[in-house]
Amino acid sequence: MNTCPNKQDEVKKLFSSCKTAEERYELIISLGRKLPPMNPLYKTPENLVEGCQSKLYLNFSIINNTLHFECDSDALISKGLAAILLLLYNNESPEFIITHPPVILSDLNIFASLSPTRAHGLKSLFLKMQKIALQYLV
């Protein structure tokens, strides 16, 4: 599918009005509020993202060699961070997810807005997405 440049532009546009770490943080929380809740049946130990400060779940399906992700968390900040990765990687091929790290997050100073444990959780979520993608390489 290879749409990440467009998706990166969407994320850049979302954060373009954020001038401070506090504004970025508020936007991330807002994205978390907009993310739909996950079916409780998918909130299982195997869908739990290890390394997160809060409980963060990642569920997926694969259709026509594209990965479809959904996330949920008990913390709005974690849910908002997950929403950013979903904007970037939902409905992409496994190859794409493996070969395109989310450098946009550093470019936008997202990590600077986060505590070390939140930043670690975000990295853990992406690693889990990549591990899932590795299982479905064609």
Q: What is the pTM of this model?
A: 0.92
- pLDDT tens for 96-125 read 999 999 999 988 888 887 889 999 999 999
What confidence tier does 5 reach under pLDDT thresholds 50, 70, 90?
Answer: low
- pLDDT tens for 49-102 read 998 889 999 999 999 999 999 999 999 999 999 999 999 999 999 999 999 999
52 is an active site residue: yes
Q: What's the per-residue H, E or C state across the chain? A: CCCHHHHHHHHHHHHCCCCCHHHHHHHHHHHHHHCCCCCHHHCCHHHECCCCCCCEEEEEEEECCEEEEEEEECCHHHHHHHHHHHHHHCCECHHHHHHCCCCHHHHCCCHHHCCHHHHHHHHHHHHHHHHHHHHCCC
Give 43 or 3, the one with higher predicted confidence.
Answer: 43
Cα separation, 25 vs 49, in Å, equals 21
Annotated catalytic residue, options 4, 18, 52, 71 = 52
What confidence tier does 1 reach under pLDDT thresholds 50, 70, 90?
Answer: very low
Domain 4-135 -> CATH class: alpha beta
What's the pLDDT score for residue 53? 84
